[in-house]
């Protein structure tokens, strides 16, 4: 059997995979992409109303700014795909990508000379093996494998006489097919995160007029939603995305004095959260529709779960086109959905906006004995700098740690990874890496009840600082102390390679 050898292999052609390919380009990496195009979840899990959740200038590569750097509107998924394609073409990255090449098996060979992984692409002509010295996993946390709830016996989708699908299935429909699916139908959307909210609006828009049916959102866990990035007339970044604002939050390696100061300033942190909550209660009819979360806003921000609302979400609710049903448990009956308060909801279509099982996707192709190592008592994947598992040799993971801007997080980790591969610095001992990982996980657990999402948003600047120090870069990136303290950080601050 033919064996093709290369120093670097990359699995996945989404944002993280393309960023990794660009930073590791001098090694001519082989990028395996299971589909016929790049883009990842932006390509395969978006529907027509999907937009970016962060301002445009917070979602750009450090060496490839948007042509129009306009933060007044959120880019559509198609704009994101066009931007990524322009980036890949500008840096000639597409030549590394093998499309329609799904990796179905990886083996750790452990050869003393190469110590490589072997990856097998099932859709490649001749099905050759590829031998690598280093493998970068960029399959991501979203897409591919839907997270389907567990149901009691005889209370699952099989008893329902209507149609059940996941948002992954819905995203594959064109506009005509998606409109046909929900128009004039009694639709239940299970979930209350961004994909569920966007889907409910699409359903409402398809059901205008007296003949239209309302869409009912089945809500188990409430999260704070934001209409725009301005709070009481102040830009949102002042509350969480500057060095001074993040100074109020706990971070790793902060020392005793810094810990004491952080504790003393905790009332200011709670006041910032309360200020945002009071604005949202004033701006949005949360009490009217029973959609006010019981947990503080900062817990959603700390877990990267703050959703930006479509402009017409509550106007459609006011017209009766979007309804809400709060519940802790639900299951199917033949005519729709039943709840733990013994009420029933009739439905023709039930759409599950219940997320994805990224860990299952990752474990499906990881080789033994490493498959079990992505499990952790906390439920999080233990990764040093969000990239390296201390006990898995010659492998990196990009796109599994979330932050304010996942594109920036992916890029700076890929820059760090390229310098690691170049042998420009050494990793700490396994013990030191595990200590750092444990610190970060403990901070996440103390900051939010939704910590399993592996989000570093409350200490993202400090996280980038530590990555810069490890690479030998200057970590204070602004031109003066005033900007350093009060202006937001984004990828453009890391454009210079020193």
DSSP letters for 318-381:
HTTSEEEEE-S-EEEETTEEEETTS-EEE-SEEEE---B-HHHHHHHHSPTTTGGGG--TTSS-
Return the biggest CA–CA distance within the chain. 72
Mean pLDDT confidence for 459-486: 93
pLDDT in tens, 382-412: 999 999 999 998 999 999 889 888 999 999 9
How big, in percent rounded to 5, are the helix, strand and coil portions of the chain? 35, 20, 45
16 is in an annotated binding site: yes
Mean pLDDT confidence for 418-441: 95
| Lowest mean per-residue pLDDT among 157-171, 179-193, 228-242 | 228-242
Q: For residue 263, name the pLDDT band (cuts at 50, 70, 90).
A: confident
Strands 330-333 and 163-166: unpaired
| Lowest mean per-residue pLDDT among 177-191, 308-322, 358-372 | 358-372
Query: Is the Cβ–Cβ distance between 410 and 263 less than 8 Å?
Result: no
Q: For residue 114, name the pLDDT band (cuts at 50, 70, 90).
A: low
Mean pLDDT confidence for 330-345: 96
Q: How far apart are CA 198 and CA 310, in angstroms?
A: 7
Mean pLDDT confidence for 437-461: 91
Is the pLDDT at 111 greater than 70? The verdict is: no
State residue 120's pLDDT score. Answer: 52
Q: How far lies 18's CA from each of 21, 43, 417, 422, 472, in Å?
A: 5, 14, 14, 19, 24
State residue 118's pLDDT score. Answer: 57
Q: Is 2 exposed, middle or buried (0-12, 13-18, 19+ CB in 10 A)?
A: exposed
33 is in an annotated binding site: yes
Angle at 147 between CA 144 and CA 150, to 5 degrees: 145
Is the pLDDT at 235 greater than 50? The verdict is: yes
Q: What are phi and psi of 91, to 5 degrees?
A: -100, 10
Is the pLDDT at 26 greater than 50? The verdict is: yes
State residue 254's pLDDT score. Answer: 87
State residue 68's pLDDT score. Answer: 83
Mean pLDDT confidence for 271-285: 96
DSSP 468: H
Is the pLDDT at 101 greater than 80? The verdict is: yes
Q: What is the overall mean pLDDT for the chain?
A: 91
pLDDT in tens, 46-92: 988 888 888 888 899 999 999 888 777 789 999 999 999 999 999 99
State residue 497's pLDDT score. Answer: 63
Q: What are phi and psi of 32, to 5 degrees?
A: -95, 120
Q: For residue 297, name the pLDDT band (cuts at 50, 70, 90).
A: very high
Is the pLDDT at 112 greater than 70? The verdict is: no
Query: Does the global pTM surpass 0.95?
Result: no
pLDDT in tens, 185-205: 999 999 999 999 999 999 999
Give the pair of three-digit tokens for residue 454.
Answer: 């592996």
365 Rama class: left (phi>0) / alpha (psi -120 to 50) / beta: alpha
Is the pLDDT at 375 greater than 80? The verdict is: no
State residue 379's pLDDT score. Answer: 74
Query: Is the Cβ–Cβ distance between 15 and 410 less than 8 Å?
Result: yes
Q: For residue 117, name the pLDDT band (cuts at 50, 70, 90).
A: low
34 is in an annotated binding site: yes
Q: How far apart are CA 396 and CA 389, in angstroms?
A: 7
Is the pLDDT at 146 greater than 80? The verdict is: yes
Whether residue 369 has a cis bond before it, omega within 30° of 0: yes
State residue 113's pLDDT score. Answer: 53
Who contacts 399 (Cβ-Cβ below 8 Å, separation ≥6)?
12, 14, 15, 16, 138, 139, 140, 141, 406, 410
Query: Is the Cβ–Cβ distance between 394 and 367 less than 8 Å?
Result: no
Q: How far apart are the two ends of the chain, measured CA to CA in Å?
A: 45
State residue 126's pLDDT score. Answer: 57
| Chain position carrying tokens 């839907």 | 146
State residue 123's pLDDT score. Answer: 44
State residue 472's pLDDT score. Answer: 93
| Lowest mean per-residue pLDDT among 27-31, 64-68, 341-345, 425-429 | 64-68
Query: Is the Cβ–Cβ distance between 350 and 167 less than 8 Å?
Result: no
Half-sphere exposure of 226 (CA within 13 A, CB side): 22
Q: How far apart are CA 25 and CA 7, in angstroms?
A: 11
Query: Is the Cβ–Cβ distance between 220 and 213 less than 8 Å?
Result: no
pLDDT in tens, 414-428: 999 999 999 999 999
Query: Is the Cβ–Cβ distance between 171 and 164 less than 8 Å?
Result: no
Is the pLDDT at 124 greater than 70? The verdict is: no
Per-position b or e across 150-186, b if 16+ CB within 10 A of its CB = eeeeeeebeebebebbbbbebbebeeeebbebbbebb
DSSP 25: G
State residue 203's pLDDT score. Answer: 96
Mean pLDDT confidence for 151-178: 94
């Amino acid at each position: 059997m033919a064996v093709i050898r290369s120093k670097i292999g990359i699995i996945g052609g989404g944002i993280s995979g393309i960023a990794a390919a660009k930073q590791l380009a001098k090694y001519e990496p082989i990028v395996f992409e299971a589909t016929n195009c790049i883009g990842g979840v932006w390509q395969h899990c978006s529907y027509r109303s999907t937009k970016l959740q962060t301002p445009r200038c917070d979602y750009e590569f450090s060496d490839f700014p948007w042509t129009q750097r306009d933060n007044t509107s959120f880019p559509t998924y198609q704009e994101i795909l066009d931007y990524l394609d322009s980036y890949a073409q500008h840096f000639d990255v597409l030549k590394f990508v093998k499309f329609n090449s799904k990796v179905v098996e990886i083996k750790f060979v452990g050869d003393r000379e190469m110590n490589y992984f072997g990856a097998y692409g099932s859709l490649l002509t001749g099905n050759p093996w590829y031998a690598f010295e280093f493998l970068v996993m960029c399959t991501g946390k979203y897409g591919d494998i839907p997270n389907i709830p567990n149901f009691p016996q005889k209370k699952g989708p099989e008893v329902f006489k209507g149609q059940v699908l996941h948002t992954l299935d819905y995203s594959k429909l064109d506009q005509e097919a998606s409109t046909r699916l929900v128009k004039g139908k009694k639709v239940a959307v299970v979930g209350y995160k961004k994909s569920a909210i966007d889907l409910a609006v699409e359903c409402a828009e398809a059901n205008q007029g007296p003949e239209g049916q309302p869409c009912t959102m089945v809500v188990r866990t409430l999260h704070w939603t934001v209409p725009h990035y301005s709070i009481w007339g102040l830009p949102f970044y002042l509350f969480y995305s500057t060095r001074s604002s993040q100074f109020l939050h706990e971070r790793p390696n902060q020392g005793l004095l810094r810990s004491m100061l952080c504790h003393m300033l905790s009332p200011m942190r709670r006041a910032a959260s309360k200020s945002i909550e009071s604005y949202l209660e004033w701006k949005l009819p949360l009490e009217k529709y029973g959609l006010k979360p019981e947990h503080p806003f900062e817990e959603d921000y700390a877990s990267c779960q703050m959703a930006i609302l479509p402009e017409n979400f509550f106007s459609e609710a006011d017209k009766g086109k979007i309804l809400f049903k709060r519940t802790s448990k639900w299951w199917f009956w033949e005519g729709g959905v039943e709840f733990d308060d013994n009420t029933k909801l009739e439905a023709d279509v039930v759409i599950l906006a219940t997320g994805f099982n990224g860990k299952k996707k990752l474990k499906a192709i990881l080789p033994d004995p490493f498959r079990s190592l992505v499990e952790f008592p906390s439920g999080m994947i233990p990764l040093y700098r969000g990239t390296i598992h201390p006990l898995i040799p010659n492998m990196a993971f990009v796109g599994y740690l979330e932050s304010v801007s996942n594109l920036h997080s992916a890029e700076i980790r890929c820059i760090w990874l390229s310098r690691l591969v170049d042998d420009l610095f050494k990793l700490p001992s396994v013990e030191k890496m595990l200590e750092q990982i444990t610190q970060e996980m403990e901070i996440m657990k103390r900051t939010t009840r939704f910590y399993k999402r592996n989000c570093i948003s409350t200490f993202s600047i400090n996280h980038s600082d530590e990555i810069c120090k490890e690479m030998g870069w200057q970590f204070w990136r602004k031109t003066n102390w005033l900007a350093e303290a009060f202006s937001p950080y984004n990828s453009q601050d890391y454009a210079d390679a020193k």
